[in-house]
Structure 1
Amino acid sequence: MLLKISTIALIPALIVQGNAVKKNTLRLAEPAGKRQGRVGTGKALSVLILGDSAAAGVGVETQEDALLGAVLQQLKDGYEIQYQLEATSGHSTGQVIKTTKNMLAQHFDVVITSVGVNDITKLTSPKDWMKKQQQLYAEINQKFTPELIIASGVPPMNMFPALPNPLAWLFGQYAKGMNKNLAKFVQQQANMQWIEYDLQRFKILNLEMAKDGFHPSKEIYTLWGQQLADKIRQMF
């Protein structure tokens, strides 16, 4: 209720600041590179990455420096990996669900997701967002029968350099609510784990975001990929 009241109260400021951010924030393209293939030697492992611009690797120039590349780099010496990336900049959970529905049914050992920022910019409440998440993971389980799903938490948007207050503060409150609901949901699923997007830790490690102040940098993708790889190794 407090979040809804705060949103209504801040609507005039949100409109002004939102338009300014859209006008002034540097727009980065999705990185070039292969999004599907096979790499590595060792135990067979199939991996699918689904989601938004962060999943797609926006913030770097090549997929080798993006999330996909970071995960493959970590795992390729111990696994023969069949990989696929299905992610699009600007996609909300509803659009990721549509992407999933349009894909061919096939088995993936691991499915990694990253989605939420574009739901926040549309002011989707944490409660409604969680309903969409449940739909997404039900579709993933039915379509891909994964042994492990790793959900990436929503980044704390209050810490995004590109966002001014009170816009940043409000978006941060949405992210906080979404992550709280996501963590609770994941704990109830037998084949799910989640990774918190710990931007405070990244800052302590002197890891800066991409030059647009909105997306991960190569260094952040590398650390994120290490976290994902650690969870995968624990299962396979």
Structure 2
Amino acid sequence: MKRPFAFARVPQSVMLIPLAPVLAVQAWRTVRRTPRLDPAGGDEHGFLRGANPGAGPAFRVVVIGESTAVGVGASRHAEALPGFLAEALRERTRRSVAWSVTGENGATARRITEIAGMTEITGGSAPDLVVVTAGINDLIRRRPLRRWAADVTELVGALRGRYAHAAVLVAGMPPVHRFPALPQPLRYVLGARARTMDRLMRAAAEAGGAVHAPMDEAMARDRGLFASDGFHPSSAGYRAWAQDLARAAAPPRHPRAAAAPRRGGSDAGPQWRADTARAVTRRPGRRRRLRGTRASTTARRLRDGRMRGGAV
């Protein structure tokens, strides 16, 4: 984000009115004290050769979004979310992985939708997986919840339309209630709203045919996973997060994965999409979820109230 909490406003809840002066002062101090970090440098695309040369064409992944997509808190993209996600996918699939990243520091969900429409497909081949990170800047600007849900719906629809043959993975909101940069009670107030936004994000993503991957709160227990601003992930934090996303996103390892070649890209995407479609429940009155993934397991733990706290 360009200026964390520069747009934070006092919540409208009557219960929080007595805290309004405190929250305003804390937000102002946080803006002044939080170091402003630049996005990662280096190449915005890369290629990792897989361990099994005969496993088929490279698996292609695109990361798109806000500051965490463009690697704020890390020195190079190869040592941020895109590069570490590619490494994790290569380890899980034993295939070569081609990755690229596009985004904007400070982008809201609406802005990311615009960026997605302007993005050229790297190398002329369509991706198998699109990972999107969004939400923090909408939180900072206190985007009304109804509009936030509509923005996520539009974003997912744009990504599904732009990358018709790719699976779309929506990264969940980070546990803002554990950010070291935030003092209490500001941390609690923003964290509570972030959790509400994440529930709306999950519903909108799944309704649009995407997979929502909640962030593992246990990551935030380790201060070393945060960058120097106490707000963004460090390089180690990006690595841990990438491993989590890869578990939710990696295509299955079985012979059928190479059985359905696809137009304009590698052959992993459509088969994975078919397997994913069969794994999604669509019973009336029940939320759709991807069975057998870390995303669904984490969601169940959150629903049951058994999840341990902490991550970026």
The answer to whether the 8 A contact 2:80-2:239 is kept is: yes
Partner of 2:170: 151
Question: Which residue type is aligned with residue 112 of structure 2?
Answer: V
Contact 2:60 2:128 (C-alpha < 8 Å) held by counterparts: yes
CA contact (8 A) 2:156 2:208 kept: no
Could you tell me which amino acid in structure 2 is paired with residue 32 of structure 1?
G
Quote the residue 1:137 is aligned against: 156
For 2:294, the equivalent position in structure 1 comes to none
1:182 alignment counterpart? 201
Matched, 1:31 2:48: no
Answer with 1 or 2: which has the greater Rg. Answer: 2
56-65 or 131-140, larger mean C-alpha shift: 56-65
- The answer to whether the 8 Å contact 2:156/2:205 transfers is no
119, 122, 136: which one aligns with 1:117: 136
Using the alignment, how far apart are the partners of 2:101 and 2:196 within structure 1? Answer: 28
CA contact (8 A) 2:102 2:119 kept: no
8 Å CA contact 1:53–1:90 kept in 2: the answer is yes
3-state SS, counterpart of residue 55 of structure 1: coil
**Equivalence for 1:17:** 26
| Bigger fraction of residues in strand | 1
Aligned-pair Cα RMSD in Å: 2.3
Q: Return the alpha-carbon distance in structure 1 between the equivalents of residues 208 and 155 of structure 2.
A: 13
Which moved further from structure 2: 158-167 or 102-111?
102-111
User: What are the Cα deviations for residues 128-147 of structure 1, in whole angstroms up to 9, with x where unaligned?
Assistant: 21110001011111111143
Q: Deviations 1:102-131 (Å, cap 9, x if unpaired)?
A: 223673211101111111110113322111
- C-alpha contact 1:125 1:174 (8 A) present in aligned 2: no
Structure 2: how far apart are the matches of 1:47 and 1:203? 26
Contact residue 107 and residue 143 of structure 1 kept, 8 A: no
In structure 1, C-alpha distance between the alignment counterparts of 2:14 and 2:86, rounded to whole Å: 42
Q: Which residue of 5, 18, 23 corresponds with 2:13?
A: 5
Q: Give the equivalent residue in structure 1 for 2:106.
A: 90
The match for 1:76 is 90
| Whole-Å separation in 1 of the counterparts to 2:38 and 2:237 | 18
Residues 205/27 of structure 1: CA separation in 2 closer, same or farther (3 Å cut): closer
| Partner Cα separation in structure 1 for residue 161 and residue 152 of structure 2 | 14
- 1:71-117 deviation per Cα after TM superposition (whole angstroms, max 9, x unaligned): 12223362232322012211111211111122236732111011111
Consecutive unaligned residues in structure 1, runs of 5 or more: none
CA–CA separation in structure 1 for the residues paired with 2:236 and 2:165? 28
Query: Do 1:113 and 1:152's aligned partners in 2 also have CA atoms closer than 8 Å?
Result: yes
Taking the aligned partners of 1:82 and 1:118, their CA distance within structure 2 comes to 28
C-alpha distance in 2 between matches for 1:175 and 1:216: 17
* DSSP-derived class of the 2:154 partner: helix
Q: TM-score, normalised by structure 2?
A: 0.68
Provide the C-alpha distance between the structure 2 equivalents of 1:155 and 1:228, rounded to a whole number of angstroms: 13
Cα shift at 1:207:
4.8
Percent of aligned positions with the same letter in both sequences?
24
Kindly tell me the number of residue pairs found equivalent between the two proteins: 232
Which deviations, in whole Å up to 9, do the C-alpha atoms of 1:38-87 show, x marking residues without a partner? Answer: 33234322211111111111112122221111112223362232322012
- Range with greater deviation from structure 2 (144-153 or 74-83): 74-83
In the TM superposition, residue 7 of structure 1 has moved relative to its aligned partner by 8.9
Unaligned residue ranges in structure 2 (runs of 5+): 1-10, 253-267, 269-312
Query: 2:49 is matched with which residue: 37, 40, 43?
Result: 40
Question: 2 CA distance for matches of 1:94 and 1:114?
Answer: 12
Separation (CA, whole Å) in 2 of partners of 1:104 and 1:38? 17
Find the residue that maps to 1:211 and give its secondary structure.
Answer: coil
Aligned to 2:216: 198
Map Cα deviations across residues 139-181 of structure 1 (whole Å, 9 max, x no partner).
1111111431111111121211111122211111111101111
**Cα distance change of structure 1 residues 6 and 123 upon mapping to structure 2, 3 Å threshold:** farther
Structure ranking higher on relative contact order (CA contacts 8 Å, 6+ apart)? 1
| TM, length-normalised to structure 1 | 0.88
**In structure 1, C-alpha distance between the alignment counterparts of 2:240 and 2:183, rounded to whole Å:** 26
